[in-house]
Structure 1
Amino acid sequence: MENSVPRSLNELKPYAGGNYQIAHRDTNAILNLDINHGSGAIIKAKPGAMVHMAGTVQLTGQVKFSVKKMFTGSEMAESTFAGHGRVALAPVLQGDIVTLHIDGSTPWKIGKDTFLACTQGVSKEAKSQGLGKAFFSGEDLFIYHVLGQGLLWLTSYGAVDRIDLQPGEDHIVDNGHLVAWSANYRIEKAGGGSMTSLKTGEGLVCRFTGPGAVYIQTRNKDEFKAFIRKQAPSAG
């Protein structure tokens, strides 16, 4: 069953240590986070995501070097926000922001470019999804598995829809539109049938099978880049 992500513009919602609000949805979204005085709450965010913040908020940049992160292409830097007051975060591209409630039991996976921020109790770990899936799904060889408990904020290119799948229920998603998922999937030709040859990524889809949920973005960055290349004049 497909559900639109709620579009409330000004509603403040709680998290452990403060409140948050997603404004200007759904293609120019910004995440406003209020850190309560004395709460000790810490927000972790993608480097460069800060738009503005109160003078009472402390921003710290941390470099977390590891050989594994070099191999997987994961970010080695992370911004942390502490203190008290408001901090506003936004993605690079036009799109929406969606909140995931991480309970430690649902096996959420996210694309590497979708992470915006999370509360202190949430972490992400790069894992290989297999060469075949990476090549055909439009996702990287390494994706993030989400761990811990708390709130996670993800970004999209375009708006976001959520599809909830019952056990055994199938749903097909065009590659390049994935944001996050907790259901299993396999790669197929768009016309049906299993993918059996390494020819081209064109016309391939992801068949998800419940139980689980899938967050999809309404626009595809790769298709947009291809469109821009076609419009740009050829280099002399």
Structure 2
Amino acid sequence: MQVHTRHTPAFGVARISLAPGEAVQAVPDTLLASSFGITEVQQSRGGLRAHGKGQPSVFTAPKEGGWLDLAPAGPGDVYPLEMDGRSGWNVHRQAFLARPATIRVDPGWQPLQALFGGDNGFLEHYSGTGPLVLACAGPVDALKIEAGELITVRPPYLLAYPDAVQCRLRAVDPSGPQSIRTGEGLALDFAGPGTVLVQARKSR
């Protein structure tokens, strides 16, 4: 699977090129166009849900290969996060657009369970190798954190961060409303070294 982007960063489109018989899981509502012969199989109702986007589908290329163009519903960027298999990534639930079979989502991943107190929060964990394609509400910034440095990010602007970066979730105002499902009223403190990916506009 190869990913090429165009119309970035304001109205990004991701071209997913597939080898013969190769499959990709993607959000079906974002399919703009595809080469002829691409087949789609919808996941069962018990499958994982892309936040606010319905169940992902599995698209498979015919024997001659093929391509899909994916365009998020709103304006913003598309970002292929290249995963090398050495580190997993924690990704905002609303950001998922597409992934190959070599990348898996890890429901119930223990560090996120600890971060959110055992509930399902606004992040999900991915591991494996290949390009994890993300839909972003705005252009992407990579914030490099040096050893001993601390930064704070508000959840609606967070895109992803690797396992190696230390993270703490806290209330902005302990007396105010808070939601670990949406990130309302919360802040994330990160400790370096490492890189945190943020988007220049809030998640919708």
Counterparts of 2:40 and 2:31, CA distance in 1: 12
2:104 alignment counterpart: 123
Q: Secondary structure, in 3 states, of the residue corresponding to 1:26?
A: coil
Cα drift, residue 32 of structure 1: 1.1
The amino acid of 1:145's aligned partner reads H
Q: Which structure 2 residues correspond to residues 59-208 of structure 1 after superposition, within 5 A? A: 59-66=39-46, 69=48, 76-83=55-62, 84-127=65-108, 129-130=112-113, 133=116, 141=121, 143-182=123-162, 183-188=165-170, 197-201=174-178, 204-208=186-190
Question: Which structure is richer in relative contact order (CA contacts within 8 A, separation 6 or more)?
Answer: 2
Residues 219 and 205 (structure 1 numbering): CA distance in 2 closer, same or farther, change over 3 Å? same
Counterparts of 1:26 and 1:127, CA distance in 2: 33
User: Residues 96-121 of structure 1: CA distance to partner in whole angstroms, max 9, x if unpaired?
Assistant: 01111112221201111100011221
Q: Secondary structure, in 3 states, of the residue corresponding to 2:106?
A: strand
User: Residues 72-116 of structure 1: CA distance to partner in whole angstroms, max 9, x if unpaired?
Assistant: 999644232322233101111111011111122212011111000
Counterparts of 1:214 and 1:86, CA distance in 2: 30
Counterparts of 1:159 and 1:142, CA distance in 2: 20
Q: Which 4+ runs in 1 deviate beyond 6 A?
A: none
When the two structures are aligned, how many residues end up with a matched partner?
190
Counterparts of 1:47 and 1:27, CA distance in 2: 21
The amino acid of 1:112's aligned partner reads R
Residues 73 and 143 (structure 1 numbering): CA distance in 2 closer, same or farther, change over 3 Å? farther
Tell me, yes or no, if the aligned pair for 1:126 and 1:142 is still in contact at 8 Å.
no
CA RMSD of aligned residues (A): 3.0
Identity %: 24
1:137 alignment counterpart: none
Counterparts of 1:173 and 1:133, CA distance in 2: 16
Cα drift, residue 132 of structure 1: 7.1
Cα drift, residue 199 of structure 1: 3.0
The amino acid of 1:214's aligned partner reads V
User: Residues 109-163 of structure 1: CA distance to partner in whole angstroms, max 9, x if unpaired?
Assistant: 11111000112211112337358758xxxxx625321022111110111111111
2:9 alignment counterpart: 26
Residues 20 and 74 (structure 1 numbering): CA distance in 2 closer, same or farther, change over 3 Å? closer
1:209 corresponds, among 167, 183, 191, to 191
Higher Rg of the two aligned structures: 1
The amino acid of 1:89's aligned partner reads L
1:5 alignment counterpart: none
Residues 131 and 92 (structure 1 numbering): CA distance in 2 closer, same or farther, change over 3 Å? farther
Residues 159 and 105 (structure 1 numbering): CA distance in 2 closer, same or farther, change over 3 Å? same
Counterparts of 2:171 and 2:43, CA distance in 1: 41
The amino acid of 2:187's aligned partner reads V
Tell me, yes or no, if the aligned pair for 2:48 and 2:56 is still in contact at 8 Å.
no
Question: Unaligned stretches of 5+ in structure 1?
Answer: 1-14, 135-139, 223-236
TM-score by length of 1: 0.68
Residues 64 and 123 (structure 1 numbering): CA distance in 2 closer, same or farther, change over 3 Å? farther
